[in-house]
């Protein structure tokens, strides 16, 4: 994790060091040395990405950072060379103006690298224990981004209209759905979850196919999908284990033939020892 956090600023720092070596020990001008450094670093990034694909967004960020770093080095060195022999010709000391620009962009690149890494991998445990409140340890709240995204039926008009029609039919059908745990669920322990479905007149809804998913709000990779079995007319049950304590969201679908009944709810899972 720490290596991932430092990869972007370290890459920019490596470019600077390589540039200084070429600029001081070779006959290349500042612009020429910057072009060589840019080509070498970008080639290395592309080859590494082909072997370990990080995603197009991460690759684009690395290409942008390394390219801008080389560009800044070219600007600063060229401006220094233009000052002429009265200042000693080619020197490695920067004027405060270009130096401030370089420092600003290096800090910006470092911050971008940290934010991208946190969004994909989360904070290191030692850092999160220091920054986040005690509830982090109790509820296992995660700083990584791949969490549950709310259903957005308005992305496409067709899907939205279908959803409205489903809601209307579901309301007219009048099915009654009672759901719940037989015992309080505890993290990492099997627990029985059951659903009773009845018609509007109270008759059991038999031979339905019931499926669902418990969604982890902080990390969708922990989502738990399930299918339920009918144990008596209109009563369906499944035994499952949710790996973390805290809040979970439920999306439940009851389907019989062409009839579909969907509902959303939430549940809380206790931590061991509570």
- Mean pLDDT across the chain, nearest whole number? 79
DSSP state of 141: -
Per-residue pLDDT reduced to its tens digit, 142-197: 444 445 555 554 455 677 777 788 889 999 999 999 999 999 999 999 999 999 99
Do both 35 and 126 map to the same domain? yes
pLDDT at 235: 97
Number of domains comprising the chain = 2
The side-by-side arrangement of strands in the sheet containing 259-269 is 224-227, 209-216, 246-256, 259-269
DSSP state of 270: B
Can you tell me the mean pLDDT for 264-272?
90
Q: Are 128 and 105 in contact (CB under 8 A)?
A: no
Do both 111 and 186 map to the same domain? no
Do both 118 and 68 map to the same domain? yes
Domain-located, residue 186: yes
Domain-located, residue 136: no
Most confident by average pLDDT, 15-19, 134-138, 142-146, 231-235: 231-235
pLDDT at 179: 95
**Which residue in this structure is represented by tokens 């990390």?**
219
Q: What is the CA radius of gyration of the chain?
A: 29
The range of the structural domain enclosing residue 231 comes to 157-269
Q: State the CATH number of the domain containing residue 231.
A: 2.60.40.1930
CA angle 183, 186, 187 (to 5 degrees): 150
The answer to pTM > 0.85 is no
Residue 266 gets the label, from left (phi > 0), alpha (psi -120 to 50) or beta, of: beta
């Amino acid at each position: 994790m720490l290596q991932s956090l430092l990869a972007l600023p370290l890459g920019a720092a490596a470019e600077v060091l390589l540039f200084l070596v070429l600029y001081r020990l070779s006959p290349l001008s500042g612009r020429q040395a910057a072009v060589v450094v840019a080509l070498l670093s970008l080639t290395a990034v592309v080859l590494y990405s082909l072997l370990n694909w990080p995603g197009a967004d991460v690759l684009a960020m690395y290409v942008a950072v390394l390219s801008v770093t080389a560009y800044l080095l070219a600007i600063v060195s060229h401006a220094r060379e233009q000052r002429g022999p009265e200042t000693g010709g080619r020197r490695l000391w920067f004027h405060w103006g270009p130096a401030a620009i370089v420092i600003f962009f290096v800090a910006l690149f470092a911050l971008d690298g940290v934010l991208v890494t946190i969004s994909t991998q989360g904070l290191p445990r030692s850092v999160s224990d220091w920054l986040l409140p005690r509830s982090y340890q109790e509820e296992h709240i995660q700083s990584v981004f791949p969490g549950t995204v709310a259903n957005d039926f308005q992305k496409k008009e067709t899907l939205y209209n279908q959803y409205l029609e489903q809601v209307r039919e579901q309301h007219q059908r009048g099915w009654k759905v009672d759901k719940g745990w037989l015992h309080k669920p505890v993290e990492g322990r099997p627990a029985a979850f059951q659903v009773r479905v009845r018609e509007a007149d109270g008759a059991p809804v038999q031979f339905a196919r019931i499926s669902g998913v418990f969604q982890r709000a902080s990390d969708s990779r922990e989502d738990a999908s399930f299918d339920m079995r009918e144990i008596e007319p209109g009563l369906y049950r499944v035994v499952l284990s949710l790996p973390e304590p805290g809040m979970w969201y439920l999306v439940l679908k009851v389907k019989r033939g062409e009839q579909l009944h969907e509902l959303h709810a939430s549940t809380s899972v206790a931590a061991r020892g509570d």
